[in-house]
Amino acid sequence: MLRFKNTIKRNIFLKKLIIKFFYFLTALLVLGLIIEFLVPGLFSLYFNSSFLALLWLLTAIISILYS
Amino acid sequence: MILIMKLKVKTSKLNIFFITLFFLLVFFLFIECLAPRGTWTCQKNYSNKKLVNLFRPDCLTEPSPNDRYEYGLNGELRILADPLYLSIFSPRAFQKIDLEIIYRPHLTDKQAIFEAGFLADSKLWRYQLKPVYNYLLEESFDTWSTIGSSDLSLRQKEQKFTSLAEFIMALKQNDQKLCELDDCLALYNINDDIIPAKQLGNILESNQINLAYALRGSHQFYIYLAHGFLDLKGSFMDLNENKDLDDFELIVLKDKQVVASLKIEDLRAEKELSSEESEEITFSLRQENLATGLYKLELRNNDDIVIMDLGVNSSYLSVINKMWPFTDEQVKVYTDSNYLQVKALSPLDLQTIRFDGIDVELSEIYKQYEIEAGLGSIKEIKLERGGPILANDGIFSFSDLGLLNPSYLRLDRFSLKDDRIDYILASYEDAEPLGDGWYRSNLSFKTSDLYRENNQYNLILSVPGLRLFDNEEVFIELKKIKIKYAGPSLLEKIKSMIFSLKK
């Protein structure tokens, strides 16, 4: 864990990648919300929303902890 | 400094990557939703479970109920009991659905028909079913001489006619050489309206008929109006046992055209799910200038509505296919079918039922009991009290003279025993054999006739008479289901919009 923490702290690029991925997931989840409202079932046909939400939460926690 | 520059370049590349990926996904979902080519396919291959379908993975849901199916050794879906329901996603409305099924039937004379279809009416739970595999036509009646094509074919026990036109003419003229007994013609998968109407025989003269027992839920009746007008009066009650609002709707049809209708919305004070019975609500409907003849009366209600009384200026009030008497008194009704399906929904409804002299004890709720009678035109049904749902493919009436059935016999799983049948008129395409007992069948449906909710159609796979644990050797194996929606392409739609604007 400490090693992972140090790696992220040292590797600015990885930190940026996680933040960008967090933004991407946020945009994707908002898109999913809009699409499910307009065409129910279309977004969930291709994406597992629970898995996306879990990834979003992980990236959010990592970017808050190690920024 | 150089490091910071490099990082900035990498970050901007990351931005470009994620933004591009996001817009590609938006574009992909947009295209999937629009289906610009006018087609959209959903398929499920059950035979290879290892092969995960990444493209449109869950467009076809898992079947339900769970206990009516299992997966075989190679992953094929086994239908063990009737019916099985699935939901299919459709991104937008199309005009046509082509359904392809690859299956291996293990059927017998008693469970002979495999059909598939879609929900057409969510209120009355009517499905539009089409034949996938008919064991009777493929095997049992295969020795009969056949003329015609798959669109319309005639099978004859003894060859008397050489063309379909000759047969239709004989039917029209009620030719004596056609039938020695009544009802010698059975239809399969064709509408009565493409052949001459069945002769109704002697019509009883009467000015008024009333329901003998209160009836629960939706019902359909045949009535015969002899005096050029409709005068209908009755009353109903709301049980408020389910959560939906209980509107009362009544329509009268002549040759599938609505000639009179009545709707009473549920604005009653009693709350749904309260089980508080409403007061008896009366209704009446009068319509002048109607032609003399046969009409269909439909009561399109949910199961909370009980028709307490119904009186109509008709000589007949024949209940079509399903009857749910709601009374504590003894019930005595008649039917023209040679079988009866009975189901009790409450322990209070368990009792001994008599059908054509055969006593059957209803000892389990929600179990569908099936009683077969001998041949004969009219059979008596006796219940100790109302409550069980009675169903078959025929007509029920409150007196033995009140059976008015304008429909020809239907070819069903009981037809093999029916010696009356000399001719079968069918619209049936033989299943395409693929070897090793597997078959492919293709069915086509117009979406305008089907019910779609939340971008989903409800598919039903039905094998009438197939029940769990009855006979373990009777089942259907499904290898593949493919659904192809088809309609106008985006370009065609734009063109038609431009043309309509110009006009």
Cross-chain Cβ contact A23/B455 below 8 Å: no
For chain A, the first-to-last Cα distance in angstroms comes to: 16
Cross-chain Cβ contact A46/B57 below 8 Å: yes
Cross-chain Cβ contact A17/B14 below 8 Å: yes
Q: Is the ipTM of this complex over 0.90?
A: no
Query: Structural domain tally of chain B?
Result: 1
A16 has a chain B CB within 8 A of its CB: yes
Q: Please report whether residue B442 resides in a domain.
A: yes
Q: Please report whether residue B130 resides in a domain.
A: yes
List of chain A residues whose C-beta atoms are within 8 Å of the C-beta of residue B32: 42, 45-46
Q: Please report whether residue B123 resides in a domain.
A: yes
Residue from the list A16, A24, A41 with its beta carbon closest to the beta carbon of B11: A16
Judge contact between A67 and B61, C-beta under 8 A.
Answer: no
User: How many angstroms separate the CA of residue A29 from the nearest CA in chain B?
Assistant: 11
User: How many angstroms separate the CA of residue A9 from the nearest CA in chain B?
Assistant: 15
CA B369 – CA B470 distance, rounded (Å)? 12
Query: The CATH number of the domain where B459 resides is what?
Result: 2.60.120.260
Residue ranges of B 87-106 with Cβ closer than 8 A to chain A: 89, 91-92
What does B451-496 look like in DSSP terms, one character per residue? Answer: -EETTEEEEEEE-TT--TTT-TT-EEEEEEEEEEEE---HHHHHHH
Q: In the predicted model, is pLDDT for residue B124 greater than 80?
A: no
Residue of B nearest to A16 (CA): B11
Query: How many residues appear in chain B?
Result: 503
Q: How confident is the model at residue B170 (pLDDT cuts 50, 70, 90)?
A: confident
What does B100-162 look like in DSSP terms, one character per residue? Answer: EEEEEEE--SSS-EEEEEEEEETTTTEEEEEEEEEHIIIIITTTSEEEE-SSSEEEESS---S
Predicted local confidence at residue B365, as pLDDT: 92
List of chain B residues whose C-beta atoms are within 8 Å of the C-beta of residue A35: 29, 33
Q: Please report whether residue B11 resides in a domain.
A: no
To the nearest 10°, report the CA torsion of B53, B55, B60, B63: 20
Query: How many residues appear in chain A?
Result: 67
Q: In the predicted model, is pLDDT for residue B52 greater than 60?
A: no
Tokens representing B451 are 């019910």
A24 has a chain B CB within 8 A of its CB: yes
User: How many angstroms separate the CA of residue B91 from the nearest CA in chain A?
Assistant: 7
Mean pLDDT across chain B, nearest whole number?
Answer: 88
Q: Please tell me whether residue B24 adopts helix, strand or coil conformation.
A: helix
Cross-chain Cβ contact B455/A12 below 8 Å: no
User: How many angstroms separate the CA of residue A41 from the nearest CA in chain B?
Assistant: 7
Q: Residue by residue, what is the 3-state secondary structure of B248-278?
A: EEEEEEECCEEEEEEEECCCCCCCCCCCCCC
Helix (H) or strand (E) holding B285: strand B281-287
Query: In this predicted model, which residue has the larger pLDDT, A24 or B192?
Result: A24
User: In this predicted model, what pLDDT tens digit does every residue of A23-62 receive, in sequence order?
Assistant: 999 999 999 999 999 988 899 888 888 889 999 999 999 8
Q: Please report whether residue B386 resides in a domain.
A: no
Predicted local confidence at residue B275, as pLDDT: 85
Tokens 């033995």 — which residue?
A: B400
Judge contact between B81 and B67, C-beta under 8 A.
Answer: yes
Tokens 């009755």 — which residue?
A: B234
Neighbours of B323 (CB within 10 A): 25
Does B63 sit behind a cis peptide bond, omega within 30 degrees of 0 on the bond before it?
A: no
CA B213 – CA B220 distance, rounded (Å)? 15
Provide the residue range defining the domain that includes B452: 39-135+431-486
Q: How many CB pairs under 8 A join A and B?
A: 55
Burial degree of B96 (CB within 10 A; 0-12, 13-18, 19+): middle
Residue of A nearest to B6 (CA): A13
B446 bridge partner residues: B96
Strand B293-299 versus strand B358-361 pairing type: unpaired
Q: In the predicted model, is pLDDT for residue B391 greater than 90?
A: yes
Helix (H) or strand (E) holding A20: helix A12-38
User: In this predicted model, what pLDDT tens digit does every residue of B279-333 receive, in sequence order?
Assistant: 899 999 999 999 988 999 999 988 999 999 999 999 899 999 999 999 999 999 9
Cross-chain Cβ contact A40/B33 below 8 Å: no
List of chain A residues whose C-beta atoms are within 8 Å of the C-beta of residue B91: 39, 42
Strongest mean pLDDT among B48-57, B180-189, B340-349: B340-349
Cross-chain Cβ contact B26/A31 below 8 Å: yes
Q: What distances in angstroms separate CA B222 from CA A52, B141, B227, one per listed residue?
A: 57, 32, 16
Q: What distances in angstroms separate CA B167 from CA B163, B174, B193, B405, B420, one per listed residue?
A: 7, 10, 16, 22, 17
Residue ranges of B 425-464 with Cβ closer than 8 A to chain A: 454-456
Cross-chain Cβ contact A24/B456 below 8 Å: no
Q: How confident is the model at residue B11 (pLDDT cuts 50, 70, 90)?
A: confident
CA B434 – CA B311 distance, rounded (Å)? 56
Tokens representing B232 are 């209908």
Give just the sign of the alpha carbon dihedral B113, B129, B152, B182. Answer: positive
Q: What distances in angstroms separate CA B135 from CA A44, B149, B209, B227, B242, one per listed residue?
A: 40, 18, 42, 46, 40
For chain B, the first-to-last Cα distance in angstroms comes to: 68
Q: How confident is the model at residue B195 (pLDDT cuts 50, 70, 90)?
A: confident
CA B261 – CA B468 distance, rounded (Å)? 42
Closest CA to B252 of B210, B221, B227, B212: B221
Cross-chain Cβ contact A45/B57 below 8 Å: yes
Q: Please report whether residue B481 resides in a domain.
A: yes
B20 has a chain A CB within 8 A of its CB: no
CA B191 – CA B72 distance, rounded (Å)? 37
User: How many angstroms separate the CA of residue A40 from the nearest CA in chain B?
Assistant: 6
Q: Please report whether residue B283 resides in a domain.
A: no
A12 has a chain B CB within 8 A of its CB: yes
Predicted local confidence at residue B213, as pLDDT: 94
List of chain B residues whose C-beta atoms are within 8 Å of the C-beta of residue A39: 33, 91-92, 455
Q: Please tell me whether residue B220 adopts helix, strand or coil conformation.
A: strand
Q: Please report whether residue B104 resides in a domain.
A: yes
Cross-chain Cβ contact A24/B454 below 8 Å: no
Q: In the predicted model, is pLDDT for residue B6 greater than 70?
A: no
Find which of A45, A49, A52 to mutate to test the B interface (most B CBs within 10 Å of its CB): A45
**Which residue type does A21 have?**
F
Tokens representing B129 are 């079913």
Q: Please tell me whether residue B17 adopts helix, strand or coil conformation.
A: helix
B56 has a chain A CB within 8 A of its CB: yes
Query: In this predicted model, which residue has the larger pLDDT, B165 or B10?
Result: B165
Predicted local confidence at residue B4, as pLDDT: 61
CA B352 – CA B388 distance, rounded (Å)? 11
